[in-house]
Structure 1
Amino acid sequence: MNSRLPRASTATLVLVHEEVGASPSPVAVSPSVPPPPAPGAVRFAAFNTALSRQRPGEMVRLLSDPGWAQARAVAEIVQLVRPDVLLLNEVDHDEEGRGLRFLRENYLERGWNGAGGITFPYSYAAPVNTGVASGEDLNGDGKAVTEPGSTSYAEDALGFGLFPGQYGMAVLSRYPLAAERARTFREFRWADMPGALLPTVPGTDRPFHSPAALAVARLSSKSHWDLPVDVGGRRPVHLLASHPTPPAFDGPERRNVLRNHDEIRFWADYVTPGAADYAYDDEGRRGGLAEGEPFVVAGDLNADPMRGSGLPGAITRLLSHPRVTDPLPCSQGGRGPRGSALEASGPGPFTEDTWNGHLRVDYVLPSRELGVGPRGVFWPAADDPVFRLTGGGIPFPSSDHRLVWADVLV
């Protein structure tokens, strides 16, 4: 599909020996299926797949056989959109990488319902904070739960999760990933962010967390990754990937709301020269992204600038940042409720249809050093031939989120 794809290099983490760029088989005509990227464009996408399961190893077991209907629908969506660089949220992390391998071999590389299989020669996955025991009382119930499997354990974990690796992240790419130059910020402490919105006991100025809890509490509920992608241009494009905690499921101290705000704020600081001098990565290197380095912020950021329960300041700061372009992707299926102002103003850039209704929470945000071509949200309308992949309500055939994509001109 893209003649500019470079060959594999020894810096990659995973290489699959299969033809790259094969054209998809003919599918039913659908306005939700974009044409291939134009020459000089790279299609970036983010997709919260909702493939995470409630028990360790369960996702791996289901993916080990090509019969999981939800994974088939997720794979077919990816095959129809055919991104070049894809961030996956809510895929359980396992140290052996079996889940990601099974997803690729048993689902993505097999064609479904006329959509051609797609091969990603390169992948990246790293540990996340979800489900990792903190050893401290982080939810404020007076006890520190260290035995995995319960909600109380998940709330005391470094990131909400019933077991280590739940709700993880992964990157699949048709371009080489400079894994040896990736920066991860999983261990960065929340209290080390200047001006952090640390929760307080309601009605007081007293910290909600004890000194011991603050000493271990991390900013990232999963992780923050700066992963350089070699797109064949003069400089790599830095994929800035994360999945902040939902601004919900907490108490009057609003610890998740505040954490979500600061997790998003981290990227706004990171791309502002001098503003992230406080940041240290997991190798101890300090500072943010160098001025002029191109980037794409991607992920389920769990924040809508107009609706939902989060603090709008963080996502607004990112969307209006002088170095960030907001492509405002649209879809036919994401139109607002019938008769509302949302519908009257045309299809909106909504990427989730659950909990609070139509929300924009998933993003692909290129830097202004890069141009932006076609973009969209894979959210078919009810009369679309591929509406079956997203459906009209719970249970969703694929995910409660929608894949969002943008063609970035490099």
Structure 2
Amino acid sequence: MPFSVRAQDTIRIATFAAPLSRDGPGLLLRDILDGEDPQVRATQRIVDAAAPDILLLTDFDHDQGLAALRAFNDRLARPFAHLFARPGNAGLATGLDMDGNGRLGEPRDAQGYGRFRGDGGVALLTRWPVLDEAVRDFTALPWPELPGAVLPETAEGPFPSSAAQAAGRLSSTSHWAVPLRIDDGTTLTLLAYSATPPVFDGPEDRNGLRNRDELRLWQRLMAGDMGPVPALPLVLLGNTNLDSADGDGFRVAMARVLADPLWQDPQPASAGGEANPSPGHNGDPALDTADWSEDGPGNLRVSYVLPSRDLTVADAGVFWPAPGSAGAELLGEDGFAAGPHRLVWVDIRR
């Protein structure tokens, strides 16, 4: 089965980089309302099967009033009571050449890659209320202001230019510290984000450096370098686009987070990942969360749910049933009905 029997005194926390971005504003809402879009339906069925209490979607188009998110939630078997999302950096115009190709107004010239404002945003669905006034939003943080930031350079100097570096934000999408008020009065804070892939750039390695610093933001926050340190308990979750053992990017940065005594790594696993290893990879294939082509990066572990050490983990997994097993039909005949990413979940005891 995709899930073990769930204890009643647990909270299931999940993250899912389902492909819910479209080519233009309003198109995701159209596809949700239509009710026939295969990616939307596959995503909803997987969410229904997983039945998380807290869900972070990291590739969901943002719109005014959260119309698409509300429509998506309304069509779930068990809709969430509370929704949270804010405008991110994806598609936010800069008026500058941010990728150094000499042209303006392209998707990579936005603060974060995006064909329009809100393209591929981050959205949170939860059964418990968000303490809105206590949310800390680091989305607008200028990259140079991150303590210890390493910005790209070439032999000619700052890449792509001094002006672009000064205007550029660190977060490619969003970075939020979101406190939730659980029924027993506990405040559980989510450190939620989605990072740029550490590829699609040149020898200056702009995306690789940015990806690493997007992860380092949480380390600097917990070190007290960015204002008050969030109180425990915490959960760090989202799509880091970074594997600690394989693929491109600064893998050691992810390895350090996984080894940090602040966090515990439940190592969510799946039978489907275990049955589909990528040749030449060093990591455990059962832990992979994305099924990418072997002509590309291969399968990688890039989505994480990391509870703080004070929390008790009851169970964990990746929704990736082995072919022919229960739940495998939700992934479609080719396994990509809801895209290459898999939903990752962790149960914590209340």
Give TM-score, length-normalised by structure 1: 0.80
Per the alignment, in what secondary structure is the counterpart of residue 286 of structure 2? coil
Structural mapping, 1:347-358, within 5 Å: 348-354=286-292, 355-358=296-299
- Give yes or no for the alignment of 1:408 onto 2:342: no
Task: For residue 59 of structure 1, report the CA deviation from its aligned partner.
Answer: 0.7
Shift of the 97–315 alpha-carbon distance from structure 1 to 2, 3 Å rule, reads same
Aligned residue type for 2:73: R
Structural mapping, 1:27-46, within 5 Å: 31-39=1-9, 41-46=10-15
Shift of the 337–42 alpha-carbon distance from structure 1 to 2, 3 Å rule, reads closer
- Give yes or no for the alignment of 1:129 onto 2:121: no
CA distance in 2, matches of 1:189, 1:340: 39
Residue of structure 2 equivalent to 1:385? 326
For 1:158, which of 103, 111, 114 is the aligned residue? Answer: 111
Report if aligned partners of 2:96, 2:109 keep a CA contact under 8 Å in 1: yes
Task: For residue 288 of structure 1, report the CA deviation from its aligned partner.
Answer: 4.4
Rg larger for: 1
Per the alignment, in what secondary structure is the counterpart of residue 179 of structure 2? strand
Q: Could you say which structure has the higher helix fraction?
A: 2
CA distance in 2, matches of 1:403, 1:337: 16
Shift of the 347–309 alpha-carbon distance from structure 1 to 2, 3 Å rule, reads closer
Structural mapping, 1:177-196, within 5 Å: 177-196=130-149
Task: For residue 55 of structure 1, report the CA deviation from its aligned partner.
Answer: 1.6
Structure 2: tracts of 5 or more residues without a match: none
Aligned residue type for 1:314: A
Task: For residue 237 of structure 1, report the CA deviation from its aligned partner.
Answer: 0.8
- Give yes or no for the alignment of 1:372 onto 2:323: no
- Give yes or no for the alignment of 1:59 onto 2:28: yes
Give TM-score, length-normalised by structure 2: 0.94
Task: For residue 81 of structure 1, report the CA deviation from its aligned partner.
Answer: 1.0
Task: For residue 317 of structure 1, report the CA deviation from its aligned partner.
Answer: 2.0
- Give yes or no for the alignment of 1:256 onto 2:207: yes
Report if aligned partners of 1:123, 1:172 keep a CA contact under 8 Å in 2: yes
Aligned residue type for 1:33: F
Aligned residue type for 2:202: G
What does the per-residue CA deviation read over 1:298-346, in whole Å, with 9 as the maximum and x for residues that have no partner? 1011000001111112212211111111110110001164696879x97
CA distance in 2, matches of 1:405, 1:72: 20
Report if aligned partners of 1:37, 1:43 keep a CA contact under 8 Å in 2: no
Per the alignment, in what secondary structure is the counterpart of residue 322 of structure 2? coil
Structure 1: tracts of 5 or more residues without a match: 1-30, 109-116, 147-152, 280-286
Residue of structure 2 equivalent to 1:210? 161
What does the per-residue CA deviation read over 1:6-28, in whole Å, with 9 as the maximum and x for residues that have no partner? xxxxxxxxxxxxxxxxxxxxxxx
CA RMSD of aligned residues (A): 2.0
Aligned residue type for 1:126: R
Shift of the 392–304 alpha-carbon distance from structure 1 to 2, 3 Å rule, reads farther
Aligned residue type for 2:123: A
Residue of structure 1 equivalent to 2:102? 142
